[in-house]
Structure 1
Amino acid sequence: MKKYFLTAILSLLVATVFTSCGDNDIIEGTEKPSSELKVWVEPYHIKGASLDEVTAYMSVTMMRYHFEAENKTADSFQLAYKTGNGNEAILYSFLRSDSTLYSVIDTELISNSRLIIDYLKKHYTLVSASDEPSYQYCFTTEDRSMVITTMKVSDVCFNVNYSFVYS
């Protein structure tokens, strides 16, 4: 249990580093990215899902994303998908032992935050909400088998993190 928890924390930190936008970014001098969504579609987030299920879902349902990279460690492997603008991405983490999904991190544009947070409020139970500028919210499923957290990672992006609860 502790091993999976530590791996999930490490994955979250890695995703935060990959998605953070510093003050010295090339984007600073250009126009802020804008990809206004009318409807938000959640990434695949079924506890214990197989690699094939995730890749099939991404190729059929999430066509604005394309496969970017695969990362393997001793305990897990990850698949990264991103959109054309490069600021929106999804990181899927799988256990190496049985190739099952245990964590999903979805990086979205701040401009879509209201739509996404409203969606999460309608479909999940709100556990806690912080001040609006930080975009820190915590949701759970009715059976408490999954925790969904949101957090601002830059002036442009915020993360939606799906973590599965193992008992």
Structure 2
Amino acid sequence: MYDMNTLVSLDSAALCRVLAGRAPEPSSLGPQQWRTVVEDLTFRLSTGGDVPSSVPWTRRSAALVYALDAAVASGDMDGRERVTRLLELSSLLISRVAPMEGVVVLDPTWLVELFFTEVPITAREAGNLAAHWRDLDISEIRRLRAARNLATPAVRLARIVGGTAHARLRDWEIVLPQLP
């Protein structure tokens, strides 16, 4: 049985192995504990830390995706935060590691699709609203901020990989500086 303290005390290879094996159950950790696991794993993956090169990216990716999914299932975060965190880490990783099709955290095509699935507004609508965002009600401002939080790492990712990803996010790249 794994609790949060046991998970974060594991070395990175063991942590990735356990989480990629879909353990522990999402309900087995208390409030905020999956968030702690996600933050710990994100830190390890983003810094390279003690993650041995022998740990394949497929396992690292599966571990992160499971931890994020478990955090959502346990109520520690919502789906939009899950996607934002995934895009943030992926844009950082892809700046250091070659993109890899089929590896969630390193697959730009999949990540761009994920962005478009989750973003709550189109770039055109966001641009129109951003011109007078101070006059909007709070729910519209929150929607623009959610779009900005998602678009920031997605645009960063697109700039890194270029090509189709960059072309698909060009409208968001233009509107991003205008968002609150």
TM bucket by the smaller chain?
Answer: under 0.3
TM value normalised by structure 1: 0.26
Q: Comparing both structures, which one devotes a greater share of its residues to strand?
A: 1
Q: Comparing both structures, which one devotes a greater share of its residues to helix?
A: 2
TM value normalised by structure 2: 0.25
